[in-house]
């Protein structure tokens, strides 16, 4: 008697099949796939603190989410802007709207450029690439690190139970 795969195995096979189907169809029409993507996230390298980052691609007029962090992308293109040092610059830049759930004071709307890193509510956001599609639209690629993990403080009474 042939054994049937369990639900988890069936789900994995179905997911892999759908992934391969999507990969095959998208390879033929990459511009359409890029235009239809709202947000994509993929794991990025781990930094010195041991935190794993996510790479987010956010098209203009959409929002990407990472934990409690929400990043909306607006204008993307060239022209004059004020950088993080309050110096007038001219070049490729993008406007973002950044929110953190439960922290209304953390809301900010910075104008960013490639290579810039922001620190908002202990989230670290690095602007990797700005890809303009037209005069004011495009996609921004960000790398986002979560806040550092808090160390759990163990009460002294618990330590004494174990003779420490």
What CATH number does the domain containing 108 carry? 2.60.98
Q: Does a structural domain hold residue 81? A: yes
- Structurally, the chain folds into a number of domains equal to 1
Distance, in Å, from the CA atom of 28 to the CA atom of 88, rounded to the nearest integer, reads 42
Average pLDDT, the chain: 75
Q: Does a structural domain hold residue 26? A: no
Q: Does a structural domain hold residue 162? A: no
Q: Give me the DSSP letters along 100-155.
A: ETT-GGG-B--EE-TT-EEEETTEEEEEEEEEE-SSS-EEEEEEEEPPPPPPPPPP
Query: pTM here?
Result: 0.62
Domain range enclosing 139: 38-149
Q: Does a structural domain hold residue 84? A: yes
Q: Does a structural domain hold residue 125? A: yes
Using CA atoms, how far residue 46 sits from 16, 18, 113, 147, 149, in Å, is 26, 29, 23, 13, 14
Task: Say which residue, 136 or 36, is predicted with more confidence.
Answer: 136
Distance, in Å, from the CA atom of 38 to the CA atom of 45, rounded to the nearest integer, reads 23
- Per residue in 76-112, pLDDT (tens digit) is 999 998 888 889 999 999 999 999 999 999 999 999 9
Q: Does a structural domain hold residue 131? A: yes
Proportion of the chain above pLDDT 70, given as a percent: 60
Q: Does a structural domain hold residue 103? A: yes
Q: Does a structural domain hold residue 24? A: no
């Amino acid at each position: 008697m042939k054994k049937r795969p369990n639900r988890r195995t069936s789900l994995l096979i179905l997911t892999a099949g759908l992934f391969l189907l999507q990969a095959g169809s998208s390879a033929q029409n990459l511009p359409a796939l890029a235009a239809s993507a709202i947000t994509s996230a993929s794991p990025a390298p781990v930094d010195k603190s041991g935190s794993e980052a996510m790479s987010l691609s956010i098209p203009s007029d959409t929002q990407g989410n990472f934990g409690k962090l929400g990043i909306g992308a607006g204008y993307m293109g060239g022209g004059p802007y004020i950088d993080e040092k309050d110096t007038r610059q001219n070049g490729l830049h993008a406007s973002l709207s950044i929110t953190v759930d439960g922290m209304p004071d953390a809301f900010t709307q910075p104008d960013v450029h490639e290579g810039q890193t922001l620190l908002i509510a202990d989230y670290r956001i690095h602007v990797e690439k700005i890809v303009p599609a037209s005069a004011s639209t495009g996609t921004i690629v960000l790398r986002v690190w979560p806040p550092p993990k808090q160390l759990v403080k163990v009460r002294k009474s618990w330590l004494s139970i174990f003779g420490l």
